[in-house]
Structure formats: C-alpha cells, structure tokens
Homo-oligomer: A and B are copies of this chain.
C-alpha cells in the first residue's frame, strides 16, 4: 500500500425531498450566487422551480447562467467568470450532471485567477483560490459532485482536458434519487458506464497489497451491475435509483484510490473521442474499456482473473487464469451491450479516419496510464481494436 492523504469534506445530503434544503445550505456561503445549469431539463421536471423557491426563502439572490452542453465548453466557462467578477458573486450553485458541475468548478477557479483559466487544464498553473461550489445533482455518472476534478472542452482544437485540485471539491452535494426517475435509458446507461469506469481506473493498479480498496471497488461494481437492469426496466424504482446514485459518488470521491495508484489511460483515450465526435463520455468508455483491457491484461493476469471472479462471478480456472481473465473482459462487454451501449466505434457511427490524430492528442504530454504506460502507437492499437 502506498502512503496517502484522503480528505473529502463534501457534505452529502441524500434522499427524498433534499433539494428543498438548497437555500439553507447555500446561504452559509453567500447571499449572491451564480445559478448554473444545462439545457433546461431541470425546468421540464420542475426542479428549477423548487430550487429557486428554496433560494428565495433563504434570502439568496442569484444570477442565472444556463446552457451548459455535454462535454462542457470553455467559452461558457469564460462567460461565467466574467459574470461572477462583474456581479461580485460569492458562490456557484450547479444544478445538473457532471458537465454542469465541471463547468461550475472551472468558473470557480477562474474567477480569482489573473491569467486564463485554460492554464490550469494545460498544467501551466495551479489554482491558489476558488469560489465555493455547491451541487444539486441530476445525473449519477461523473462523480463530480464530490470529486476534486473537472474536465472541460476547448473548442479551439478541439481539446478535452482535465484538472485536479482539492479546491474543486464541492462544499455540499444534494442528491435526490427521485430526480433521476426521468433520465432516459440511454442517459442512465451512459452514467452507469462512467461510474464503473471510475472504479475500474482505480482497480487496475500497479500497486501491490491493496486488499481493502480492491474489495471496496468490487462491492461498488457489483452493486452497480446488480441495479443497472433494474433502473432500466423500472425507471421509478427508488431503491435501485438510490443505489446507483450513491455508488456514482463512492466511485469517484477518492476513497477507492486510497493507498493505490490508478491507471486513467482509458479516460484520456476516451476524451479525444468525445472531444472530436461529441459522443457521451460513458458511451465512449463502454466502447474503449474492454479494448484497453484486452490490450493490457497480460501485464497482471491474476488481477484480471480476480476481477472476473469477484466482480462477475466467473469460476477461477487455476490451470488457465488467462481464460478466466478473458471471460471477465467478455462479461464486461456483454454487460455494456445489455444496457444498450455501443461496444464499437462502428456501432456509434464513428469513422476510423482520425484514429492517428486522436492517438497523437491523447499522448500529447507523454505516455499515459500507470497500470501499463501507453505510447501513441499503443493508443492507436486500442482505437483500432475499438473499430468493431
């Protein structure tokens, strides 16, 4: 086990009706906030009205900035920063999924920074301060509601880049599983692939002797796998939605990283895909993760056999652990297909003519991944395996 620091102070407020507490939680930080959201689905489901009512009752004034798109754009972040500075905003309330939260986080670190916020995403600077951010979560997927990371797409490129700073952890996250009842099966499935990927990026580690976190990862994956078909066939099943929602946070709040190095190559490989083709992050991960696995599993067949056995219930064939390992990867791919996700670029209508360009961009800062270090050529092979 590696030395680690684990510090996650996000206050989770979970359950039915919890969005009514957003006013009292927000007013602890500021009486003037930026209300940040996406394409308007929060208005259709009535959440916007409930949030606004709660803010008003708590005496919180707000300025709105909607319009966050999936794969959130730098341009809107820049606009948000200008508004916050001009209006002297003290807090950003993100009402939405990972894209809205990530956009809010980027605005939050951009406001007090003299340079351009993109510097943080290019690792040219480290943030020293940030506005506080709060969340009302609508999509269980990205785990951004208590994570210390944010991913933004710069339209000039296009480049999709992430940053990590403890300043990015939201102060609170309000999570009502009922709000997720209206998610489409495809949105739900993309979220499931995203949260599973967060666990798997941590699970496939070069660190030895990480039994507790291995088992916590397996517990989280099994819960997601068990509840996924339930929420897809019974979208209003509160208990299954609650399991999925809480699992999405646990998957990415850094508990499952304690004492171990994560891999994270597949995230980098996917980011190029969704930057170029605007495919949902979760769908891209569903295509790429099994390919990455087949490319790297020989580095630690026992770990992949453990994954097959403990997560998928595959019987361990001691005389042929490789077979056991490969069965686990196959089960993952079959699972993604069973919940309606694409498992090849072809199925997602993505052409194969820019693989080289994506492989180049994915490795812009050098080899990626920690389980196995991947160079441009390796990444290109993985994209080719993904073609279908």
A residues with CB within 8 A of B? 1-18, 208-209, 211-212, 215-216, 218-220, 222-223, 226-227, 238-239, 242-243, 246-247, 250, 255, 258-259
Contacts of A247 in B (CB 8 A): 212
Given contacts A219-B212, A246-B212, contact A8 B8 (CB under 8 A): yes
Contacts of A5 in B (CB 8 A): 11-14
4 further interface pairs, Cβ-Cβ under 8 Å (given A6-B12, A208-B239, A215-B220): A3-B14, A4-B14, A9-B9, A212-B246
Smallest Cβ distance from A320 to chain B, in angstroms? 23
Smallest Cβ distance from A11 to chain B, in angstroms? 4
Oligomer: number of copies: 2
Contacts of A17 in B (CB 8 A): 3
Contacts of A209 in B (CB 8 A): 239, 242-243
Smallest Cβ distance from A290 to chain B, in angstroms? 24
Smallest Cβ distance from A374 to chain B, in angstroms? 28
Bound complex: CA A239 to CA B223 (Å): 27
Bound complex: CA A321 to CA B352 (Å): 55
Bound complex: CA A238 to CA B223 (Å): 31
- Determine which of B3, B9, B212, B223 lies in contact with A16 in the assembled complex, contact meaning CB atoms within 8 Å: B3
Instruction: Decide if A12 touches B3 in the complex (CB within 8 Å).
Output: no
Instruction: Decide if A255 touches B255 in the complex (CB within 8 Å).
Output: yes
Smallest Cβ distance from A215 to chain B, in angstroms? 4
Contacts of A14 in B (CB 8 A): 3-6, 258-259
Bound complex: CA A4 to CA B18 (Å): 9
Contacts of A226 in B (CB 8 A): 211
Instruction: Decide if B9 touches A15 in the complex (CB within 8 Å).
Output: no
- Most B CB contacts (10 A, CB to CB) among A4, A16, A238, A247 go to A4
Contacts of A2 in B (CB 8 A): 15
Bound complex: CA A222 to CA B212 (Å): 8
